[in-house]
Structures are given as structure tokens and as C-alpha cells.
């Protein structure tokens, strides 16, 4: 090609980021395939030395094997790279397959292809991103899991002082996942997600914190719900932390109580055992509505006074019918956790943070649709909501 134009080989080499001893030997367009396939052949200079993957010592090739990688589409064509990759015989590490500069060890995709796929998966459901790049969602999940795990491994949690935790399920009522957030981070707050719920999750978080430059004794506050398993585990794993019960969870237990009373009452009415329908539901609802009055207290003292009034007033006024037992249980829970609930008035952390998690959980479920299990759900929660600035950096 004249006039200083670039050789097509150089264009492809540039796109691959090829460097010595690797160079492009040829290209072939397969028009039998739909979409057409562009195949690039990469070879190493004869007699070249290759770095040992363990110690980087330059070694001679021992033997070769041919591998193929899927690369970024070249315009509308699917693009593949084939190369004969040597094994070297390192005096210290023995016979090892060398790592090629365009792909990570063990992957059948080039780094540029994986980078494009990860960027797409941040913007759309994983199944859609997989269709777009022309691979199965199972393979895209494997790529995502690799990069997310590596970026999560590099998280520095040395500055974590206040933690919020909540549980979610990848499917309704199944496969619980417990998620921990840094209460001081407004954006991308998720720092740990683990399968299960309860005691073991808190211990797992403590271990994770320790292995990521965190210090459990410097965690001064933990915001959570009133689950006895969590609370017991927090006392042993984070002995210095003040525990704050999130207001959102107080409202939640009364919402559940109203619902249970309403269902029980509807059954009774259906059996025509009651003359005046709806009295129990109304009583349960009044209890829930009174929470608003507590929430608007200005000081911890005022909150304590209102909670005491609430428990006494609602509790003594409640009809003894068994139908109202869910409300009695909810009142008992509030009585047990009064101090932790009042902690909210002393805390500088907004309880909007934990409520915000619900939006993240919903988005993550939608992104993982079609291939959702505990592992994929956790991967996508991290991808959407964890501070992972380095996820693509080393590609």
C-alpha cells in the first residue's frame, strides 16, 4: 500500500495491542458463516524467548498448542484470533504454558472483548448484554464473576466506621443473601454480600473486614433490624459498636402485624362468626399509624417518652382477642429493643441508606433475570452497588 497508508496487518495488530515477539501472520474472512467470521492468525518470531508465568525468566519454547480466542467484532463480523502458544521449560518452575498479552490465562476471550462485555453488563440486563456480544449468558456470567471477584478482593475497608446490614432473597422466600453497607458512603455503599442470613454472615463479614485492612473494633455503629440472631452475633463480632435499629424495620414489623390481623379477621368474617367486621384490623392499623407520632420526636428523650406512651396506651387498650396477637408481639419487640430504636435519634447516619438498598436489590434481580441464583445475584449486587473503580483497570 502506497502513500504512507497503513498496512491492514498493522491495523489489526494495533487493535490487538500486539507486541514482540507476537505479530500478525494473516487474516481470512469466512463468508460461509452467519454472521461472517474474521479469523486472525498470530504467530511468535521463530526462536523467540517467552517469560515464565511465575518468575518472568526468558525461556525457550518447549512445545506448542493452538488456541482460539473470541475478539471484539470487526464491524459486523465476529472476530477470532488463533495462535500457537508455547509451553516453556523453566529451570525453577518446570513446564508451563505462557500467558499471551491479549488474554488472561484460561480465558477463551481476548481482554478487549471481556472489557466490552463487562461495560455492557453494567448498563443492561446480563442476558441482553450476552445476546449483544453473541455469547451465552452462562459464559458472560463467568467473565463477570472473575472481574467482580478480583475487584472485590482489592477493596480497602480501612476507613469503615459505621455499617448497615440487611437481608434479601434472590427469589421470593428463597436463597437469602445478607448485604453490608458502609453507612458513610452515599454512592455505591455495598462492601460485602454473603449467602445466608443470621449469625454466620456477621462472622463472615468480620473476617472479610480483617482481610481488607478493616478493624472490627473501630466500627462504632451498626444499623440493622431486630433479628435476635444478628444482634447476638454483633455483640461478639463487633463488641464496641452501638447497635441502631433502623426505623424502616420498626415500621415493617407493624406493617406485617396489620397484614396478619387483616387476614385472620377476613377468615373469621367469612365464617360469619363476627357481627362487626373490621374492628381488629382497625385497632392494628391505629397502632401502626401511631408510629408516625413517635418518629417526629425531636430528641432521644422525647422519643423514649413517646415509645413508652405508645406501648402502654396501645397495649392496655387492645382487645384481648387472639386475632390481635400479632400486634401484641410487635409491641413486645419494640419494648425489647427500645434502647436500640432510640439510638436512631443519637446517630448521625441517615436511615435513607438502608431503605435505598431495596432499590438496589430490585435492580439486581432484574439484571440477573433468566440466570438468577445466589452467586449471580451477589455478583450483580457488587457490580451495581459496590465501590469497584478498578474493575477494568488492569485489563
Residues that bind Zn ion (CB under 5 A): 52, 54-55, 90, 92-93
Residue 90 or residue 330: which is nearer to Zn ion going by CB?
90
Pairing type for strands 77-90 and 37-44 reads parallel
Residue 52 or residue 241: which is nearer to Zn ion going by CB?
52
Q: What is the DSSP string of 254-320?
A: HHHHHHHHHHHHHHHHHTT--SSTTHHHHHHHHHHHHHHHHHT-SSHHHHHHHHHHHHHHHHHHS--
Q: Are 240 and 217 contacting, i.e. CB atoms less than 8 angstroms apart?
A: yes
Q: Which helix (H) or strand (E) holds 170?
A: strand 162-171
Torsion angle in degrees (nearest 10) through CA of 280, 281, 287, 292: -160
Residue 59 or residue 323: which is nearer to Zn ion going by CB?
59
Q: Cβ 47 to Zn ion, closest distance in Å?
A: 20
Residue 20 or residue 92: which is nearer to Zn ion going by CB?
92
Q: Cβ 51 to Zn ion, closest distance in Å?
A: 8
Residue 93 or residue 286: which is nearer to Zn ion going by CB?
93
Q: Cβ 387 to Zn ion, closest distance in Å?
A: 36
Q: Cβ 88 to Zn ion, closest distance in Å?
A: 8
Q: Cβ 97 to Zn ion, closest distance in Å?
A: 12
Q: Cβ 22 to Zn ion, closest distance in Å?
A: 20
Of 303, 347, 395, the residue nearest 164 (C-alpha): 347
Q: Which three cell numbers stand for residue 173?
A: 422466600
Residue 95 or residue 235: which is nearer to Zn ion going by CB?
95
Residue 90 or residue 318: which is nearer to Zn ion going by CB?
90
* CB within 8 Å of 18: residues ≥ 6 apart: 24, 42, 101, 102
Residue 46 or residue 56: which is nearer to Zn ion going by CB?
56
Pairing type for strands 162-171 and 174-182 reads antiparallel
By beta carbon distance, the residue nearest Zn ion is: 52
Query: How far are the Cα atoms of 10, 94, 115, 133 from residue 15, in angstroms, in the given order?
Result: 8, 33, 14, 17
Q: Cβ 45 to Zn ion, closest distance in Å?
A: 21
Q: Cβ 20 to Zn ion, closest distance in Å?
A: 20
Q: Cβ 85 to Zn ion, closest distance in Å?
A: 17
Q: Which helix (H) or strand (E) holds 245?
A: strand 242-245
Query: How far are the Cα atoms of 57, 297, 372, 388 from residue 188, in angstroms, in the given order?
Result: 41, 31, 22, 8
Classify residue 273 as exposed, middle or buried by CB count within 10 Å of its CB (0-12, 13-18, 19+): exposed
Computed from CA positions of residues 273, 275, 277, 282, in that sequence, does the dihedral angle turn out positive or negative? negative
Residue 94 or residue 370: which is nearer to Zn ion going by CB?
94
Q: Cβ 94 to Zn ion, closest distance in Å?
A: 8
Residue 70, SS3? strand
Report the Cα 200 to chain-centroid distance in Å.
Answer: 18
Residue 62 or residue 93: which is nearer to Zn ion going by CB?
93
Amino acid at each position: 500500500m502506497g502513500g504512507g497508508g497503513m498496512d491492514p496487518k498493522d491495523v489489526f495488530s494495533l487493535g490487538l495491542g500486539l507486541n514482540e515477539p507476537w505479530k500478525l501472520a494473516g487474516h481470512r474472512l469466512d463468508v460461509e458463516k452467519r454472521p461472517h467470521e474474521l479469523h486472525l492468525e498470530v504467530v511468535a518470531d521463530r526462536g523467540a524467548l517467552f517469560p515464565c508465568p511465575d518468575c518472568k525468566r526468558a525461556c525457550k519454547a518447549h512445545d506448542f498448542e493452538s488456541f482460539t480466542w473470541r475478539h471484539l467484532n470487526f464491524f459486523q463480523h465476529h472476530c477470532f484470533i488463533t495462535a500457537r502458544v508455547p509451553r516453556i521449560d523453566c529451570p525453577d518452575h518446570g513446564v508451563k504454558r505462557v500467558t499471551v498479552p491479549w488474554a488472561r490465562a484460561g480465558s477463551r476471550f481476548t481482554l478487549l472483548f471481556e472489557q466490552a462485555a463487562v461495560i455492557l453488563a453494567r448498563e443492561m440486563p446480563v442476558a441482553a448484554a450476552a445476546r449483544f456480544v453473541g455469547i451465552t449468558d452462562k459464559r458472560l456470567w463467568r467473565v463477570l464473576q472473575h472481574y467482580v471477584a478480583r475487584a472485590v478482593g482489592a477493596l480497602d475497608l480501612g476507613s469503615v466506621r459505621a455499617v448497615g446490614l440487611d437481608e434479601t432473597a434472590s427469589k421470593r422466600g428463597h436463597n437469602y443473601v445478607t448485604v453490608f453497607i458502609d453507612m458513610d458512603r452515599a454512592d455505591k455503599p455495598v462492601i460485602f454480600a454473603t449467602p445466608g442470613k443470621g449469625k454466620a454472615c456477621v462472622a463472615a463479614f468480620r473476617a472479610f473486614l480483617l482481610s481488607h485492612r478493616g478493624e472490627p473494633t473501630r466500627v462504632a455503629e451498626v444499623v440493622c433490624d431486630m433479628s435476635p440472631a444478628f444482634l447476638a452475633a454483633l455483640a461478639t463480632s463487633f463488641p464496641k459498636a452501638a447497635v441502631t435499629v433502623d426505623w424502616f424495620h420498626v415500621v415493617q414489623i407493624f406493617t406485617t402485624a396489620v397484614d396478619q390481623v387483616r387476614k385472620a379477621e377476613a377468615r373469621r368474617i367469612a365464617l360469619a362468626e363476627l357481627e362487626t367486621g373490621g374492628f381488629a384490623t382497625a385497632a392494628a392499623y391505629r397502632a401502626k399509624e401511631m408510629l408516625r407520632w413517635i418518629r417526629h420526636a425531636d430528641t432521644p428523650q422525647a422519643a423514649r417518652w413517646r415509645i413508652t406512651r405508645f406501648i402502654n396506651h396501645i397495649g392496655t387498650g387492645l382487645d384481648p382477642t387472639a386475632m390481635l396477637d400479632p400486634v401484641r408481639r410487635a409491641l413486645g419487640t419494640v419494648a425489647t429493643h427500645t434502647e436500640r430504636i432510640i439510638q436512631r435519634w443519637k446517630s448521625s447516619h441517615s436511615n435513607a441508606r438502608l431503605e435505598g438498598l431495596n432499590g438496589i436489590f430490585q435492580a439486581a434481580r432484574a439484571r440477573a433475570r433468566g440466570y438468577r441464583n445466589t452467586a449471580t445475584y451477589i455478583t450483580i449486587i457488587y457490580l451495581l452497588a459496590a465501590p469497584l473503580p478498578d474493575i477494568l483497570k488492569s485489563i
